[in-house]
A and B are shown apart, each in its own frame.
Chain A
Amino acid sequence: MSHAHVKPLEPGIILSIEELSIAFGGIKAVDNLSFQIKEKEIFGLIGPNGAGKTTAFNCITQFYAPNHGSIRFLSKKDETVELTQHKVHEIIGLGLVRTFQNVELIRELSILDNVLIGAHIDYKTGLFNAMLKTKKNRKEEEALKNQAMDVLKFVGIADKALWPVGGQPYGILKKVELARTLMCSPRLIILDEPAAGLNDIETLGLADTIRTIRDEYNCAILLVEHDMRLVMDVCDTICAINFGKFLAKGSPKQIKENKDVQVAYLGTKEDLV
């Protein structure tokens, strides 16, 4: 499929959002947002409730079509692509994978099967090979199953591989979703509120896991998150938004001391009285 020519990204940048805007029935959910993510960077996107974080990242992953703006991404093949020119199911093939805040797993399937869904695009054999269980298909299946078990070991739940997803505690489900994203050797993983529903200990463990993923899988991570401790702890760069608009960007220390961010989260002195 040939796409309109896309201006290549600067070296070291893997995602560049420019003037991203989307409105729902007159309300601008995301308003002229721009930021860039570097290679192997852990990047946090924060903002109070309703700031437009989830909408922004649904736009990036093409679940919503933005009204305006461009989203350039350095694909796994080292080509710059314009994400808005691609369909939602093509995104993972380019090297961008996401998790879901509401943990979207298939309840009736096992944990292993759910993780294998993450490898769907790696299967080269088709329908007939699958039905007849040809040698080619069996080899593929075995190789990817081994890879899935490795990933499950990495997140620490390999012993539960054959258990059904339905009925598992929330913490395990989040790990399964995380494991699923690692199957495709992504360039960028977007985590949608990964700390939601986790307790303090689990959140600390999550911070470690995020750092280890970045190191071992050589990918960048975009974190859309509420939990400030996790964000401050693990992110290299943070971008804060409010009412869909860009507010501030910088290191965790800079963001913490930024007056606009403080006002957005805590209100002004007048509001507190």
Chain B
Amino acid sequence: MGDMQPLLHVVDLTKRFGGLVAVDNVSLDIFPGEVVGLVGDNGAGKSTLIKMVSGVYVPDGGQIFFDGKDVTFASPRAARDLGIETIYQDLALAENLDVGSNIFLGREIKRQRLGGMLHSLDRHKMRAESAQVLDRLEIHVPSLTQQIRNLSGGQRQAVAIARSIYWNARLMIMDEPTAALGVSEQRKVLTLVRTLAGQGVPVIIISHNMQDVFAVADRIVIMRRGKKVAERLASETTPDEIVSLMVGAEAVHEMGVIPKAIPGNGA
């Protein structure tokens, strides 16, 4: 991966809230096709960092290069227009609408009627396109005409991801994607993350769950108190090491608790 151009190249990014330095000179590279776990304790600055990348916050210092170009985002919309999609825990789906409607929410396909006098929704086409993108990601939902509220948590997650992919996501950021899911559902979402990476879309996963991180990530970035403290290849580290980096090695020893190695280091 060394000779490849990073898709996202972040240099010395800094964000302050009053006297608090939430993110302190963080640099980060994300390459096409990789899954990066972003870990850290609460308040470590993961979310703030991600919010700068996705256009929610304007950085106080540093630069963001996307696809080699220096970018500044005035709004989340601007980031999304470049293909940086963020999937939040609440997913932002309209539960009363069906799968296709959600994938096309706000960007519906229309059809002209009566010689352009009327613009009606082309539900047929939206459904067909939805089926295609779901298929491409190997996502199975019971029916495209099901309201979202009748789907499981994992299926909703999948619909949200499919929506991003359909709209040409080039970098996917996922905030605790498995937090609210059952075990088998968690596995499906993680498989989907690997599928995305396999199709060349890099994924940044923010997670507290070491098991998840080791299950999908190629690389793990550890943050503590606003700083990036380390970066490890998942194949060359252990959950123990990551946890001690997250909380600071001294703290771990004080607590005397080091979690046992967690299975699932594969994908």
A and B assemble together: no
